[in-house]
Structure 1
């Protein structure tokens, strides 16, 4: 897949975009449905009806069907019923999706570019995907990227949705800043003021906090450190060198 275009490139060559879409979407009714009924569903239902009619005619002619033919008739009727319900659900999903997508902000550009058939194909694949068709789900995702219905598709087409109304945007910012909806006054704390005599006075929440008594703080007892007296070593007088030499001669050697 090619790289996505930059919203604010350095080189300002001639190009289309960026486009800002209205947040309210496209007003008015959707265009007329441009596609014919789904031929695959119609052909499937017709084939099943012919198979059921053939087995019923054989039952009328012979008066009795074999066990294999009865099983085939029962299963064919079930498949026919499932195909009829699926076709009805797909048609209802196409009608609802067609009305929903034409109220989106992207529908303004679809109408200007005349992408009616492309949008109809997306709706057809999306309706089939909602009924459990995996291949239709893959195709619908690709069409959603091309039509700008995904974040990646909007970035590749350089589309963006405009911000909501100014009043609503300001109310949202005020709610995020103050935590209120803006309907009542916001209680704030006042700063310390100085009166004429030079003494400081508190007002508002600060004064209430100042007048409330504070619990007494307990002091931890301090431990007394005792110093132990250091023992002094007695110094022994050294013998003279002559006495030490005489003592070494008189002492016998050990063997």
Structure 2
């Protein structure tokens, strides 16, 4: 973590928060378990610089157990809300030691009535209590007040219901897989030069190559400015499945795949958030099949 004209606050020893050298701002860099970095500039928070630095130090200390950027972004968004609240006070404190019990009561009252608000209260409290100046006194007592738990609004699926969901996801994804495999096979034949020049399959192969390279089928802009699928007759229509969906999953099909992966491996949202960008590569143990 580095700052403008001030001594940098060092991150916890051996931690994955790294201070960039020669940089402006008050930067905390979080490195996830895949080695990717994400910077958070606390100079952007709408509070005085001393409080910016105190919040950055608490954020860095709390991040010791984080493995992904989703958690970091969650806490950061809550701090943005807290900084906005502080900035709107009649006499905003310059640092955390100026936060009074009355201020924290107002912060609590603004959020305790809703479920998202209670999550915000709990997250910000976790960070504030890392500052030793808020470890005792009236402000500390206010921070220690119990945050009521929300009543569960959702109920888990029964086993039979879960089986129905998985079956529907399996059917949806299988249909998509068959569609993409069929079109991928045609594309590979076109690239290998196995299709007769000018044939329907050869023209389809040319469109699929354009789709694979650009992410969409060729489109034409008419004189009135509307965009149309150029080869809609050859493709058999303009729907997603007939156009760019020939090689790619739709959002609903991606959701179906996520349901199957979650059912098989117990993945949560953080696992999906850390998936690498898709690439084309030979399938494991196979030379001709491409994943």
User: Which of the five TM-score ranges fits, normalised by the shorter chain?
Assistant: under 0.3
Calculate the TM-score normalised by the size of structure 1: 0.22
**Rg larger in structure:** 1
Higher RCO (C-alpha 8 Å, min separation 6): 1
Calculate the TM-score normalised by the size of structure 2: 0.20
